[in-house]
Amino acid sequence: MAGMNEAKKRDFVSQLIVILEQNTQLLTDKGFDPTAKITQLQTELAAADDAEGRQREAMAAAKDATQLANSTLDAAYTDGSATVDLITGLLGKNNNLVLEIKKIRKPTKPKTKTEAEAEA
């Protein structure tokens, strides 16, 4: 089974079911009645198909949730930035409060080894 992808595994089970169905009499004559095994494999394959459908739904829901989270965060960031612009307009760009607020929006640079050691 190692190395077989999902499609190949699914195809293998499907083909095996057909082969067992087509050769039921031959196998029964040799002492193996494949009827129960055919039913089992059909049930397992149907369960795998159902599980894959639920997996696809979950993946789509996760993508939708990520998109919603990102767009909601973008809206909050845009509103926050507009508020900073308003405060800057009211207090002036050199006001200490404005300067402190603008610091929190600047991207942070990774700490150098020296800075990390100084904090330790």
pTM, to two decimals = 0.59
pLDDT band at 2 (very low <50, low <70, confident <90, very high): low
**Measured between alpha carbons, how far is 91 from 83 in angstroms, rounded to an integer?**
12
pLDDT band at 4 (very low <50, low <70, confident <90, very high): confident
6-22 and 35-91 helices cross at what angle (nearest 10)?
160
Contact 18, 42 (CB under 8 A): no
Q: Name the region of 3 (left: φ>0; alpha: ψ -120 to 50; beta: rest).
A: left
Phi, psi angle pair for 52, to nearest 5°? -65, -40
Residue type at position 87: I
